[in-house]
Amino acid sequence: MKKSMAFLILSTFVFAILIGSLILSLPFSTIEEKISFPDAFFTAASAVTVTGLIVKDTEKDFTFIGQLTILILLQLGGLGFMTFSTLLILLAGGSISTSDKTIIEGDFFSGRYKNVKNLVKKIFIFTFAFEFIGAILFFFQFDIENTSERVFTSIFHSISAFCNAGFSVFSNNLENYTNDIGVNIITSILIIAGGIGFIVLNELYLYIKREIKSFTKFSLHTKIVLISSLLFVVLGTMIIFLEETLSGHNSLSIGATFLTSLFQSISTRTAGFNTINLNILSSASIFIMMILMFIGASPGSTGGGVKTSTISVGLAYIKSLFLRKDKVTMFYRSISTKIIEKSFLIIFLSFLIVSVFFFILSSIETNNHEIEIYDLLFETVSAFGTVGLSMGVTAKLSILSKFVLALLMFIGRVGPITFIIAMSKREDKGVYDYPEEDIMVG
């Protein structure tokens, strides 16, 4: 695959972050006084990478222009600049090379769909359809007297939820709606829709149209994503609910605890919204949330993390070892060795990246007694998974730590794309092989 496409993706992200930083650092973007460039840069990076970590209060510190800039940045980051670039080429009547088609299809549709023009159209149709419907539903849920403010707030949260960004124009995120079933359900549906990926949305759409007759006719990718996503949501909800109910760390009712557990299990995997102050949760619940953040959303989606399908393939391989099977199978299909190797490499590299950045941040913040080491680990995993949840320490970080965390958010967002491009290009090393020799492992 063409390295120029990878460079275009990376450079476009960087360019958007820099432009966003410039706009957010100007006086008309903030209410009282202009913010420092490091804070503007961090906010722009968080928006473009659809992370949601903030060092400034989106509601109180930014004007309408500032909030609109953040909204545009997270919409661009959510859809992906690769898609926007493709659309511009199509609108201009230009052609797309075969290698670029492979990159686009590999990222969004696993190569199953060959019509790139229809592919891009569907991505935009699905995105704006969900965001439009979500905005309408939010409009009737938010209790805001000013109509124009309610419209903007509804649009902002709908886009932020579908893009799995976690940004909110409420200072305490969605904590005022802990018991609001409507807001919880609408936000959760948008998060799931944006997090399962466009290939799954498309096949679900075809299922509704009866062009796909049954679950067995779905692609293996869609089956894995749907089952694994449901499994992670159920397990996350039950573990958090039981832990919070038994530990007695909060004063919520049983119903509110369950609703909160369900919402956080969905949001934690990459969206970053919260309907409760995370500091009142038990350490065990926070640990489970870190695992969910590391897993993340699904391939070809607006979310981050190592992806549900990656974890699923890894678990399927481990299962095959226990059962002493020669082949790794899922839903009566064999998984290729190349996919298994890529899955474990993604998991290993992701774990390594989180570990290295956690070490760097810990070293920088050694003398910062306002930040607990456990909270910093949570922050690190949240940044890598482009989640945006925080224990309230983001604004307390030093300038250097903010730049380091911004880099981690950037890697978390573009890493999977560049990884696919790098892994897909093979070079001929020759026709000879080195002799094998056994070593002791384990």
In tens, the pLDDT along 76-91 reads 988 875 566 555 555 5
Span 398-422, pLDDT tens digits: 999 999 999 999 888 876 555 555 4
Span 156-180, pLDDT tens digits: 999 999 999 999 999 999 999 999 9
357 touches 385 (CB < 8 A) = no
Q: Say what the pLDDT of residue 130 is.
A: 96
Please compute the mean of the pLDDT values over residues 330-343 and round it to a whole number.
91
183 touches 177 (CB < 8 A) = yes
Q: Say what the pLDDT of residue 109 is.
A: 47
CA angle 192, 377, 12 (to 5 degrees): 60
The enclosing H or E element of 333 equals strand 333-334
Task: Give me the phi and psi of 58, to 5 degrees please.
Answer: -60, -35
Q: Say what the pLDDT of residue 289 is.
A: 96
Q: Say what the pLDDT of residue 66 is.
A: 96
CA pair distance 194, 18, nearest whole angstrom: 26
Say which DSSP state 196 is in: S
48-57, 68-77, 120-129, 350-359, range with the lowest pLDDT: 120-129
Please compute the mean of the pLDDT values over residues 34-45 and round it to a whole number.
92
CA pair distance 305, 342, nearest whole angstrom: 15
Residue 334: strand pairing partners:
329
For the chain, give the percent of residues with pLDDT over 90.
64
Q: Say what the pLDDT of residue 224 is.
A: 94
Is residue 364 very low, low, confident or very high in pLDDT (cuts 50, 70, 90)?
very high
Q: Say what the pLDDT of residue 72 is.
A: 96
Span 339-362, pLDDT tens digits: 899 899 889 989 999 999 999 999
Q: Say what the pLDDT of residue 422 is.
A: 47
For the chain, give the percent of residues with pLDDT over 70.
85
Nearest to 125 by CA among 47, 9, 205: 205
Span 185-241, pLDDT tens digits: 999 999 999 999 888 898 999 999 998 988 989 989 999 999 999 999 999 999 999
Q: Say what the pLDDT of residue 247 is.
A: 83
Query: In 296-384, which ranges are continuous DSSP H helix?
Result: 308-322, 337-364, 373-384
Q: Say what the pLDDT of residue 235 is.
A: 96
CA pair distance 52, 439, nearest whole angstrom: 45
Could you tell me how many helices (H) and strands (E) the chain has, helices first? 16, 2
Q: Say what the pLDDT of residue 91 is.
A: 52
CA angle 191, 407, 412 (to 5 degrees): 35
Q: Say what the pLDDT of residue 432 is.
A: 66
CA pair distance 84, 107, nearest whole angstrom: 14
Residue ranges of the domains in the chain? 3-423
Residue 330: strand pairing partners:
333
Is residue 33 very low, low, confident or very high in pLDDT (cuts 50, 70, 90)?
confident
Span 56-69, pLDDT tens digits: 999 999 999 999 99
10-14, 104-108, 123-127, range with the lowest pLDDT: 104-108
Burial 141-158 (b: 16+ CB within 10 A, else e): bbeeeeeeebbbbbbbbb
Span 253-296, pLDDT tens digits: 899 999 999 999 999 988 999 999 999 899 999 999 999 999 99
